[in-house]
Amino acid sequence: MITDRYATRRFDVQDLSAIDTEVLETIPFEYPGSATDVVYETEEFTSVCTWTGLPDFGRLVITYRPKELLVELKSLKYYLTSFRNVGILQEHSVNRILEDLAALLDPESMVVEAWFNERGGLSTHARSHYPSS
């Protein structure tokens, strides 16, 4: 008899409270009004599936036009790393990152995009805008 030994198997999944917004820091932007677009990219964004705890890997791109503040890069890296074991839907992760960074920076505009690796024959590309359009 063949059984599905994986049906009840799952890995530990942290809830959204593990996302570390307290680590985020800002630095002054010395060229307000300059129409400067800032782009941060990583190929190493990870979170986990809310149901199985299996990892989701993605390429994340954050693009924004600052008013007066920039996010300090080391703090951004620690913040993004805090998603590593958090159970969050791929489509929700870009919205959560956008909410957190927009609240921190109050930028003129911001777009957060992620391209998640294929799982089960499907890949996901999610994009969120501030202000919402």
pLDDT digits (tens, 9 = 90+) for 91-123: 999 999 999 999 999 999 999 999 999 988 889
The first and second tokens of residue 107, run together, are 């930028």
Q: Is the peptide bond before 131 cis (omega within 30 degrees of 0)?
A: yes
Residue 107 in any domain: the answer is yes
Residue 6 in any domain: the answer is no
Considering its fold, how many domains does the chain have in total? Answer: 1
Residue 10 in any domain: the answer is no
Residue 115 in any domain: the answer is yes
Reply yes or no on whether the pLDDT at 70 is more than 70: yes
Asked if residue 18 lies in contact with residue 86, where contact means CB atoms within 8 angstroms, the answer is yes
CATH of the domain at 102: 3.30.1130.10
pLDDT grade, residue 51 (50/70/90)?
A: confident
Question: What predicted TM-score, i.e. pTM, was given to this entire model?
Answer: 0.90
pLDDT at position 38 is: 98
CA distance 30 to 18: 33
Owning domain of residue 109: 23-130
Active site residues: 49, 56
pLDDT at position 132 is: 81
> Which percentage of the chain shows pLDDT scores above 90?
80
Residue 82 in any domain: the answer is yes
Residue 18 in any domain: the answer is no
